[in-house]
């Protein structure tokens, strides 16, 4: 192999390493949080502090999310869904988005979703979160409460 080809390979490897820094940091942060939630059970009252919305008497769309991660880390899917159904239901979506982003960073061909699609999906997700929060706080939706 020529010296020029070796230099190009080294440059490509360094470039890929720089591109993959952000996805690896995100994955590492998620892994660290999951391990922490696996080891320190959020089902124990006050183990992770007090939820501000619960202290005010209502369940926000995120209430039960820590318990859901703990349940998932123990492979208890039904209990996780019972803790926060919306969180569990959106994991495949966010996993797919992360995969597309990381794969684009790896190959050097950035994934650029259509901005209108991103705006629409974001608006739908926010609307679903609002509806989820309202429904889980009324008697008819008590089964969605954490």
pLDDT band at 39 (very low <50, low <70, confident <90, very high): very high
Q: What contacts 43, CB < 8 A, 6 or more positions away?
A: 67, 70
State residue 20's pLDDT score. Answer: 95
Residue 49 forms beta bridges with which residues? 47
- Tell me how many domains the chain contains: 1
Q: At what angle do helices 85-107 and 65-73 cross, to 10 degrees?
A: 70
Q: State the first-to-last Cα distance of the chain, in angstroms, to the nearest integer.
A: 61
pLDDT band at 6 (very low <50, low <70, confident <90, very high): low
Residue among 107, 89, 129 nearest 16 (CA): 107
State residue 9's pLDDT score. Answer: 63
Q: Is the predicted pLDDT of residue 86 greater than 60, yes or no? A: yes
Least confident residue range of 3-12, 42-51, 133-142: 3-12
Residue 114 forms beta bridges with which residues? none
Taking the CB of residue 30, how many other CB atoms lie within 10 A of it?
A: 13
Provide, rounded to the nearest whole percent, the portion of the chain with pLDDT above 90.
71
State residue 29's pLDDT score. Answer: 98
Least confident residue range of 7-11, 115-119, 136-140: 7-11
Q: Is the predicted pLDDT of residue 64 greater than 70, yes or no? A: yes
Least confident residue range of 8-12, 84-88, 120-124: 8-12
Half-sphere exposure of residue 66: CA atoms within 13 angstroms, side-chain side: 18
Ordered DSSP codes for 4-56: HHHHHHHHHHHHHHHHHHHHHHHHHHHHHHHHHHHHS-TTSTTBTB--HHHHT
Q: Which domain holds residue 120?
A: 3-144
């Amino acid at each position: 192999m020529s010296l020029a080809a070796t230099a190009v390979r080294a440059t490509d490897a360094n470039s890929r390493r720089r591109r993959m820094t952000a996805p690896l940091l995100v994955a590492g942060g998620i892994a660290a949080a999951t391990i922490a939630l696996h080891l320190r059970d959020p089902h124990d009252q006050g183990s992770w502090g007090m939820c501000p919305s619960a202290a005010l008497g209502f369940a926000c769309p995120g209430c039960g999310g820590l318990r859901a991660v703990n349940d998932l880390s123990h492979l208890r899917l039904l209990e996780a869904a019972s803790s926060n159904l919306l969180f569990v239901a959106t994991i495949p979506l966010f996993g797919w988005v992360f995969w597309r982003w990381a794969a684009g960073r790896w190959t050097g061909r950035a994934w650029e979703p259509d901005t209108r699609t991103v705006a629409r999906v974001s608006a739908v997700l926010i609307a679903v979160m609002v509806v989820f929060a309202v429904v889980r706080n009324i008697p008819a939706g008590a089964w969605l409460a954490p």
